[in-house]
Amino acid sequence: MIFKPFPLRLFLRKTSLLFMLLCLSISICGAVPEGSYTLGAEDIITTTVIGHPEFSGDFTVTTDGVIEFPGAGPVAVSGKTLQAVSKEVTRGLSNRLRSPEVYITLKFARPQRIYVLGTVKSPGICDLKPGWRITEAISAAGGLAGGVEPADCTVKVLKAGSKVWRTAPYTSALAGNSTDNLPLDAGDVVTVEAVERIPVYIMGRVKNPGLYNLRADNTSINAALAMAGGTLENAAISQVTVTRISGEKKSINLLPVMLSGTADDSINLRSGDTVVVPELRSYVAVLGYVKDPGYFPLQDGAGLTLADAIGLAKGADNKRGGLSKVAVIRKQNGKEERLS
Going from N- to C-terminal start, the domains of the chain cover 8-108, 113-194, 197-277, 283-338
Neighbours of 53 (CB within 10 A): 9
Instruction: Just give the CATH number of 113-194.
Output: 3.10.560.10
In angstroms, the CA 146 to CA 149 distance is 9
How do the pLDDT tens digits run along the chain, 340 residues long? 444 444 444 444 444 444 444 444 434 433 445 567 888 888 999 999 999 999 999 999 988 889 999 999 999 998 899 999 999 999 999 999 999 999 999 999 888 889 999 999 999 999 998 889 999 999 999 999 988 889 889 999 998 878 899 999 999 999 878 899 999 988 899 999 998 889 999 999 999 999 999 988 889 888 899 999 999 888 888 889 999 999 999 988 887 776 665 655 567 899 999 999 998 777 677 777 788 887 777 666 566 777 777 777 788 877 776 666 777 777 776 677 776 6
In angstroms, the CA 30 to CA 19 distance is 17
**β-pairing verdict for 240-243 and 274-277:** antiparallel
Do domains 8-108 and 197-277 share one topology? The answer is: no
**β-pairing verdict for 283-286 and 274-277:** unpaired
pLDDT score, position 37: 82
Measured between alpha carbons, how far is residue 71 from residues 68, 74, 81 in Å? Answer: 9, 9, 21
Closest CA to 192 of 259, 263, 137, 128: 137
pTM of the entire predicted model:
0.52
C-alpha 142: how far from its chain's center? 12
Residue 277 phi/psi, 5° resolution? -105, 105
Q: Which residues are CB-contacts of 210 (< 8 A; sequence separation ≥ 6)?
A: 201, 202, 228
pLDDT score, position 31: 44
**Based on C-alpha coordinates, what's the Rg of the chain?**
40
Helix (H) or strand (E) holding 260: helix 255-260
Measured between alpha carbons, how far is residue 312 from residues 125, 235, 296 in Å? Answer: 68, 18, 7
What is 197-277's CATH topology?
Outer membrane lipoprotein wza fold like (3.10.560)
Contact (CB, 8 A) for 285 and 294: yes
Q: What's domain 8-108's superfamily in CATH? A: wza like domain (3.30.1950.10)
